[in-house]
Structure 1
Amino acid sequence: MKYIKTKRLILRDWQESDLKPFIKMNLDPDVRRYFPNLQTQEESVNYAKASQKSILDRGFGLFAVERKDTGEFIGFTGIRVLEADGSLDFEFLPCIEIGWRLAKKHWNQGFATEAARGVMKFVERQTDIKEVYAFTAKKNIPSINIMEKLGMEVVTEFEHPSIMDGHSLKPHILYKVSTKKGRRLKM
């Protein structure tokens, strides 16, 4: 099913044909530069299946992203419920988190921002969600730029508990944007 359409993209259900390029994407050190490790084949498949389950169960999740012009799967963008689970016990949980990840060959073309804006319009029009959060390593400037283009504002900085002390990815930054009853989203 197609959930969100933008000028150049379709955000949709995950398909079996998405798994191979998704696995390849998560084994790319550049794509995983701001994560402490690469994702195994099994982890990637489980991530995609969990994303699809959320879409089916909740009506939203981390959608597969497809280019309209080529029909090519290029990654994911969407929102998910993030809850404390023992490894993630942030003060701001539970929350709705927006996230994205695209294959490297689709970077620097505005696709991540376009998809994220489409998701935020979906949130405003199709849900009762009032706040959306995002967080990343402080050194992940590309993602921070997208967060700021969405009108998100810094809430706090924190040390990611599941990243070892001294690692350059441990310092993180949390962003938030209000929807519906808060200020209008920057589009």
Structure 2
Amino acid sequence: MSLTTDRLILRQWRAADREPFAELNADPVVMRHFPATLARADSDAFADRIEAGIIERGWGLWAVEIKSSGAFAGFIGLQPLRPELPFAPGVEIGWRLGASFHRRGYATEGARRVVLYAFETLGLPEIVSFTTAGNAESRHVMEKLGMTRDPAEDFDHPAVPADWPGRRHVLYRLAAPARP
């Protein structure tokens, strides 16, 4: 199963995606809003979990392929919220693209398609997204999707070190459109 946009294919992962995924997870620019970059083994383990989630549920954090070149760009998709998050249970929309794919509108384009899938195909009542307070780029994508933030829901992420400066996160929500 895959989703398409004018410029992107969101699809299941392939073995050939592992190397470029490891490169983007090791890139300090891409990972600047995370506590650390990922070593190759950690990146591969993350890809294994993503791929298994898609097999299990039929949806997840899909690999992003650029239609015009076939290049792997990163991921865009959905995943169940970790139970330790203060607003769980629910489903998160998220993305991570290689630095050479930033500022081209790919995250917004792919995420818009994922939003349609979440509401029209899966029938989800709501999706959420969150990031570090300082991640203006991802926050901008969330706002372009129509997501809204309530500052009262900002939180300290429980899965990052307590002394990490990016521990404070902002939460955005998007409710499914009312059905006629």
SS in 2 for 1:136: strand
Q: Is the 1:134–1:147 contact (alpha carbons within 8 Å) kept by the matching residues of 2?
A: yes
Which residue of 92, 103, 108 corresponds with 2:98? 103
Give me the whole-angstrom Cα distance separating, in 1, the residues matched to 2:159 and 2:53. Answer: 23
Using the TM superposition, give the Cα deviation of residue 170 of structure 1 relative to its aligned residue in structure 2, in angstroms.
1.2
Q: Given the alignment of the two structures, is residue 142 of structure 1 paired with residue 100 of structure 2, yes or no?
A: no
Q: Which runs of 5+ in 2 are unaligned?
A: none
Report what 1:169 is aligned to: 166
Report what 1:185 is aligned to: none
Q: Given the alignment of the two structures, is residue 73 of structure 1 paired with residue 68 of structure 2, yes or no?
A: no
Q: Which amino acid in the other structure matches residue 111 of structure 1?
A: Y
SS in 2 for 1:57: helix
How high is the TM-score relative to the length of structure 1? 0.90
Q: Which amino acid in the other structure matches residue 179 of structure 1?
A: A
Report what 2:16 is aligned to: 17
Give me the whole-angstrom Cα distance separating, in 2, the residues matched to 1:36 and 1:174. Answer: 18
Q: Given the alignment of the two structures, is residue 158 of structure 1 paired with residue 160 of structure 2, yes or no?
A: no
SS in 2 for 1:39: coil
Using the TM superposition, give the Cα deviation of residue 92 of structure 1 relative to its aligned residue in structure 2, in angstroms.
0.7
What pairs up with 1:45-124 in 2 under 5 angstroms? 45-84=44-83, 89-124=84-119
Give me the whole-angstrom Cα distance separating, in 2, the residues matched to 1:57 and 1:163. Answer: 27
Number of aligned positions between the proteins: 177
Q: Is the 1:129–1:180 contact (alpha carbons within 8 Å) kept by the matching residues of 2?
A: no
Report what 1:27 is aligned to: 26
Using the TM superposition, give the Cα deviation of residue 166 of structure 1 relative to its aligned residue in structure 2, in angstroms.
4.3
Give me the whole-angstrom Cα distance separating, in 2, the residues matched to 1:162 and 1:81. Answer: 15
Using the TM superposition, give the Cα deviation of residue 38 of structure 1 relative to its aligned residue in structure 2, in angstroms.
0.6
1:61-95 Cα offsets, whole Å, 9 max, x none, are: 000000000001000000011132xxxx2221111
Q: Which runs of 5+ in 1 are unaligned?
A: 183-187
Using the TM superposition, give the Cα deviation of residue 52 of structure 1 relative to its aligned residue in structure 2, in angstroms.
1.2
Q: Which amino acid in the other structure matches residue 43 of structure 1?
A: D
Give me the whole-angstrom Cα distance separating, in 2, the residues matched to 1:127 and 1:105. Answer: 32
1:29-88 Cα offsets, whole Å, 9 max, x none, are: 00000000011111111111111111111111000000000001000000011132xxxx
Bigger mean CA offset, 62-71 vs 172-181: 172-181
SS in 2 for 1:49: helix
Give me the whole-angstrom Cα distance separating, in 1, the residues matched to 2:81 and 2:11. Answer: 21
